[in-house]
Structure 1
Amino acid sequence: MGHPNMTVPYEPPQWNSAPAWKLPGWGEPVMVASILIASMVFNRRRGFRILDRRRRRRDGLLDDEPDSARSSDDLLTRDQMLANESDDDVSAETLSTVKNAPKKRRCCGTVLYTPNTSRFADHFHSRIMQKFPFLMEMFYWIITFAFYRISKILSQAVFSKTGIWEIAMDHGLAILEFEQFSWLSFVWPVHERDVQQWFMHGHQSLLTILNRSYALIHIPGTVGFLGWYYYVAPSFNTFAVVRRTMTLTNFLAFTIFIFYPCMPPRLLPPEYGFLDSVGRNNGQSVWMEGKYVNSLAAMPSMHFAYAFSIGCVMMYHSGIFRRTLEPGEIRKSKLWVTFYVWFGLFYPLFILVTIVATANHYYLDACVGFLVTIIGFLCNRVFLVFLPLEDLLLWCLRLEKPVPSTADGARRSIRA
């Protein structure tokens, strides 16, 4: 159950801080939906009219290129798709002359030809997608949330006989014991309980800020970041790397949630000295409690994983560590460089303090969150193997994938 030296005498806390805001159950979902809709509108394709098909050729968006290459994640060009073509089933000469020729995809060392959806470019729902290309990103994150929901169900099924609550508590106590008594204990000289107690004694006004930040920044902030970076990223490829990295980080973390349920410190028995500062007085967030939330998913910390990802993107976006910029990208002013660097450093540290001070995560949770983010970045291109499935899905829906509007604003300002 845990090392006996980890327990402390329990005393009822004297609260001077405020918990998280007690919002109605629909409040936070409406907030996130509003951010998504605002991102969709803000990233719309200017000058493109859904009902005016005569503008198609002039806009140069829904053209007659046989492979609709610009609509894929890699924004493959027609020449790239036909390069090094052998005399397999379809020759390069044939593909280059046939209208709506199949797309050429490489998957697991195999060349696949998938249906080309450019013939559906004039369909009404395709034109809606062309006008609001961020809808595609919203679709990806709906899939991610669905997998998160499944992770809770699967974890409960895996531990249905042994009791998931007891297993999760054992895992939480094992993490505490590892941090405090293993040979790596020097990495964490200040225990999580001591951090929370520092805020509890004389600094509860700061704890109020952390309580409300924990509930309201994680999901709305991350969604808002994705909408913002979709617009300002120097290219869609750069944005796609960030999106794939965060998505793979999610999937790796969700897999750990299934097989290693872990109780956060705030849910441990009171003799271990942790307080639920966020949830007291029923000040819960819809993202922390409810049938759609896995409350035994402390390991790894997705709060820190997201914050670390966002921090790295901010550092990259500043351009300070890059000798050469991407095509069309311009150097930022010293004021903006300072802001991006400062934010890139401050935000992950702020979230780390928040998750520890509010007893929602252990130090080790943040460390593993850091590791899964690094793995997600190094292996993010693994998602490209799903492009053939995406092509088939779009074909079934009679839908042409939209051309991303990323960096359109920057290109307009350069032309001006």
Structure 2
Amino acid sequence: MGKPDTITYPVEDPVWNSKPAWVLPGWAEPVMVASILFGAMYMTRRRDYSVFRQSRNRHKTILDDEPGSDLSSDSLLHYDSENEDDAQDPIAASKHMPKQRKCCFGFVVQTPNTSRFKNNFHSRILQKFPFLIEMFYWIINYAFYRMTAITSQRIFAKTGIWNVAQAHGIKVLEVEHLSWLSFLFPVQERQVQQWFMRGHQDALTFLNKAYALIHIPGTVGFICWYYYIAPSHPTFAVARRTMTLTNFLAFLTFIFYPCMPPRLLPKEYGFLDTVRHDDAESVWMSGKYVNSLAAMPSMHFGYAFCIGLTLVYHSGLFRRTLERGEMRKGPFWKLFYLFVGLAYPVFILTVIVATANHYIMDALVSACYVFIAYSCNKIFYVFLPLEDWFLWLLRAEKPIPSTGERFREYGGRI
């Protein structure tokens, strides 16, 4: 196929024969997400840890030891002063000594020791339900996303953000299909959507719904599932920090490079807004603070790509040894995780292009962001002193994560 001379097409009113999809009530998605989160909070709770009295069982943590008591070598090995996942050095905790946090360029910062607040009621709630910390992290993520639209609008107030975003969207198409980089994009987004429009409109309706319903519930569901099943909290935290840093890289791009999705471009560019036809916009994609001009990069694909890589890693097929605490998987489960890890990003790529919500370049950029985020994910350690001070102000102690505990209790071997 030769390089096209133009990216515009004669304006045609496409014939849409598919019936509009059933519209979910506005409360359905928030209830779905809340159910997943609170279900995970319940599933990863410490069953025999009591909020109302001291725990006297095998789930007793290093924070429950009295000063001067003998500590096992296992507890000492568990501590890593550079790791966000450990609440406190057991000896320092028993004496309420300040924490030593390593920051950038080797600097060591002393922060308050919050272990003295371990028996406060809200600290014990966190210890009973440690997944609450993960829920708090993602609430912060969502709050930052909500602010991108306002910030971007203020930056481009004089030129008009709609015009800027439209120009950026057209530029993306020109780079993909008219520049020397066109060999990276052998298929045009319009061709993908047109294939579904010509005889596969019911499938396109399904993809519209998938675009709306999979992104937030699916990503939240993955975080909950991996917290439950991961072999260790450090392993889980790498995936979580990678997704979070990918988020912030994307948020910066949303602010300084607003980009109109293909479906909102003028008609001569050949795209149909099937999302509006199906009334398939997610409740998370509507409202005053939603950034509808944030096509670049695609966080739908960014999340899917990160999830896919994690599942491929979790399959164990490309690792010679198991992690400490990791259960051995049978051949079926290894192939299952590999298949889902490869198929899920491909499916999401099809969804975002067929529904004209994103350009193929959006997916490529988001994949690059995932690799950058993975390489730099420990940058979030610089915020540990702030977290220590925040917990000090709240008079709360950070709980020791329960990642993978319940799964191993049930003898998980997949």
Q: Structure 1 length as normaliser, TM-score?
A: 0.90
Post-superposition shift, 1:411?
3.9
What is the identity, as a one-letter code, of the residue corresponding to 2:138? W
What is the identity, as a one-letter code, of the residue corresponding to 1:113? Q
Match of 2:109, SS state, is strand
Residue in 2 that maps onto 1:123:
120
Post-superposition shift, 1:57?
8.7
> Where in structure 2 are the equivalents of 1:226-245 lying within 5 Å?
226-245=223-242
Residue in 2 that maps onto 1:75:
86
Q: Following the alignment from structure 1 to structure 2, what is the Cα–Cα distance between the partners of residues 392 and 406?
A: 24
Are 1:161 and 2:158 an aligned pair? yes
- 1:267-304: CA deviations, max 9, x gaps? 00111110111221533221222213100000000000
Are 1:102 and 2:98 an aligned pair? yes
Are 1:30 and 2:31 an aligned pair? yes
Give the percent of matched residue pairs that are identical in Structure 1 and Structure 2. Answer: 62
- 1:96-142: CA deviations, max 9, x gaps? 59711111101112111111111111111111111110000010011
Match of 1:282, SS state, is coil
Q: Following the alignment from structure 1 to structure 2, what is the Cα–Cα distance between the partners of residues 137 and 20?
A: 34
Q: Following the alignment from structure 2 to structure 1, what is the Cα–Cα distance between the partners of residues 66 and 100?
A: 14
Contact 2:48 2:59 in 1 (8 A): no
Residue in 2 that maps onto 1:310:
307
**Structure 2 residues without counterparts, runs of 5 or longer:** 68-75
Contact 1:301 1:369 in 2 (8 A): yes
What is the identity, as a one-letter code, of the residue corresponding to 2:95? K
What is the identity, as a one-letter code, of the residue corresponding to 1:40? M
Question: CA-atom RMSD, angstroms?
Answer: 2.4
Post-superposition shift, 1:46?
1.8
**Cα distance change, pair 313–129 in 1 and its aligned pair in 2 (3 A):** same
Q: Following the alignment from structure 1 to structure 2, what is the Cα–Cα distance between the partners of residues 415 and 171?
A: 49
Residue in 2 that maps onto 1:267:
264
Match of 2:64, SS state, is coil
Q: Following the alignment from structure 2 to structure 1, what is the Cα–Cα distance between the partners of residues 118 and 244?
A: 28
What is the identity, as a one-letter code, of the residue corresponding to 1:369? S
Q: Following the alignment from structure 2 to structure 1, what is the Cα–Cα distance between the partners of residues 22 and 34?
A: 19
Q: Which piece of structure 1 moves more, 406-415 or 247-256?
A: 406-415
Contact 1:21 1:284 in 2 (8 A): no
Residue in 1 that maps onto 2:7:
6
Q: Which piece of structure 1 moves more, 182-191 or 13-22?
A: 13-22
Q: Which piece of structure 1 moves more, 350-359 or 404-413?
A: 404-413
Match of 2:86, SS state, is coil
Residue in 2 that maps onto 1:327:
324
Residue in 1 that maps onto 2:71:
none
Post-superposition shift, 1:186?
1.5
Aligned counterpart in structure 2 of residue 356 of structure 1, from 342, 353, 356: 353
Number of residues of Structure 1 aligned to a counterpart in Structure 2: 399
Post-superposition shift, 1:62?
3.4
Post-superposition shift, 1:64?
3.8
Q: Following the alignment from structure 2 to structure 1, what is the Cα–Cα distance between the partners of residues 66 and 306?
A: 36
Residue in 2 that maps onto 1:150:
147
Contact 1:21 1:212 in 2 (8 A): no
Q: Following the alignment from structure 1 to structure 2, what is the Cα–Cα distance between the partners of residues 415 and 250?
A: 31
Contact 2:93 2:115 in 1 (8 A): no
Q: Following the alignment from structure 2 to structure 1, what is the Cα–Cα distance between the partners of residues 92 and 210?
A: 55
What is the identity, as a one-letter code, of the residue corresponding to 1:280? H
Residue in 2 that maps onto 1:15:
16
Contact 2:92 2:98 in 1 (8 A): no
Q: Which piece of structure 1 moves more, 66-75 or 49-58?
A: 66-75
Contact 1:23 1:285 in 2 (8 A): no
Match of 1:332, SS state, is coil
Match of 1:112, SS state, is strand
Match of 1:228, SS state, is helix
- 1:49-93: CA deviations, max 9, x gaps? 1112253797235324889958962427738xxxxxxxxxxxxxx
